Structure 1
Amino acid sequence: MNLRPFSDHRRGLFVSVDGPSGAGKSTIVHHLAQLLVSAGEDVHVTAEPSNGPIGVLCQELTDTVTGHALACLYAADRYHHIETEIRPYIEAGRMVISDRYIPSGLVMQRFDGIDPAFLWQLNAEAKRPDLAVILEADPDIISERLNERGPHNRFQGTPGSSHAEVHFYRQAIDRLIQAGFDVLRVDCNQRPAEQSAAVIRDRLLNFFAASSTG
């Protein structure tokens, strides 16, 4: 593929990457950032929970705080993350990639039985990504991966969590599309991480091509 440089776009771009635990988000984000840098893009990679004070608190309390309190804490981290890191980098013209964002906020607290409508309203004022990437993978495959590496939090240790999380993400995707989000679904079942990252990179190339002719 003949890659046109990204440097001709005038503003920063915000891309979020979400998907079930074990789908390979962090690895794919790493490869995506490398591909974009090779294409001449100035990339800033971040994640949620963030490294800010509220994000650190989220990480410390995820296994002991539940329900509405934890959902509000994660939302607070998201809004703080936007104001202190995401928006400043976008305004500086950089490509910001976040490993987890609003879609995860619509999914993870579902394990605590929180109403999806409440989660939607909680995230309603958060900045929309220019492209919301949702990784999709077979729940049995990602369940095996989680068993091999061990759960990172209490949600992943719930029996049948992979099947439930995949189901919650499908519902979140429908809600995001209905709300007008630009959603890219990437099937990770048969692709290595590098190829999944290339699919996202190609979608961004098309995004800039459309912008330059618009």
Structure 2
Amino acid sequence: MPSSPGRGTSLRPGLFVSVDGPGGAGKTTIVRHLAQLLAAEGEQVHVTAEPSGGPIGKVAATLTATVRGNALACLYAADRYHHIETEIEPYLRAGHLVISDRYVASGLVIQRFDDVDPEFLWQLNARARRPDLAVILEAKPHVIAERLEARGAHNRFQLLPDSSHTEVAYYQHATSCLNAVGYTTLRIDCTSREPQQTAAAIRDHLRTLPAAKEAAC
């Protein structure tokens, strides 16, 4: 999504927001609405996603169907660090508000379907730049399952039996881990919220962050 012209005055320049959650929670739609809301208010917004569009991200996306376990986890972590270095940090330095559709929380979840040790996943991601706000979208597992059935699976993990219940549990554990090491997280239940409402809730929470308050003074 192209960046909007002009720099916003209500939020600190260089703010980084990640949005994660189970497949079917509506991440991409919510990210789009959030970007539109912030751009309309004058913020310079850059939207990105993981796996990234860079060379490692393209390989990771291609190999997701055939590569398993630790190897795939390492490949996704390598893409994350390359993504930070080549895209996220340059846009933050330029004063943009960067929104990433999937980030570290997803890195702590997806490869668990391949029985990768959660501690190993954390060690792989421990040095990744922390977002100013890590949004974790939630929804009732049966609602997510219905949405996945309606839209179709996007990867092999979503084809596993009872994947929605499992992924919800993994995200709850990942959120606890992020909180334990000092991440600023925001959990939002999207079971009955419209995407626009969720995006507005994230926008409003961004204004409560200490950095945002300092910028407004």
User: How does the TM-score come out when normalised to structure 2?
Assistant: 0.94
Alignment equivalent of 2:101, drawn from 86, 99, 103: 99
Secondary structure in 2 matching 1:155: helix
Cα deviation code 1:84-134 (max 9, x no counterpart): 000000000000000000000000000000110000000011000000000
**How many residues align structurally?**
210
Which one of 191, 210, 213 corresponds to residue 213 of structure 2?
210
Cα 1:118/1:40, change in 2 over 3 Å: same
TM-align CA RMSD: 1.4
Structure 2 counterpart SS, 1:173: helix
How far does the alpha carbon of each residue in 1:168-194 deviate from its partner, in whole angstroms, 9 at most, with x for none? 000001000010000000110111000
Alpha-carbon distance in 2 for matches of 1:46, 1:164: 26
Q: Deviations over 1:119-155 (max 9, x none)?
A: 0000011000000000010110010111111111100
> Which residue of the partner structure matches residue 124 of structure 1?
126
What residue number does 2:4 align with? none
User: Does the residue aligned with 1:117 lie in a helix, a strand or coil?
Assistant: helix
Unmatched tracts of structure 1, length 5 or more = none
Q: Which moved more, 1:59-68 or 1:146-155?
A: 146-155
Q: Which residue of 1 aligns with 2:149?
A: 147
What SS does structure 1 have at the residue aligned with 2:130? coil
Q: Return the TM-score normalized by structure 1.
A: 0.95
1:63-212 superposed matches below 5 A = 63-207=65-209, 209-212=212-215
Q: Distance in 1 between matches of 2:82 and 2:92?
A: 15
Partners of 1:203 and 1:152 in 2: CA distance: 30
SS at 1:16's partner residue? Answer: strand
Cα distance, 1:40–1:53 mapped onto 2, change above 3 Å? same
Equivalent position amino acid for 2:98 in 1: V
Q: Could you tell which deviates more after superposition, 89-98 or 146-155?
A: 146-155
Deviation, 1:8, is: 5.0
- From the superposition, tell whether residues 203 and 6 of structure 1 become closer, same or farther in structure 2 (CA, over 3 Å): farther
Unpaired runs of 5+ residues, structure 2, are 1-6
SS at structure 2 position matched to 1:206 = coil
- Letter of the structure 2 residue corresponding to residue 28 of structure 1: I
Cα distance in 2 for partners of 1:24, 1:109 equals 20
Moved more, 84-93 or 5-14: 5-14
Find runs of 4+ consecutive structure 1 residues off by over 6 angstroms: none
**What is the Cα deviation at residue 39 of structure 1?**
1.2
Gap change, CA 1:8 and 1:25, over 3 Å in 2: closer
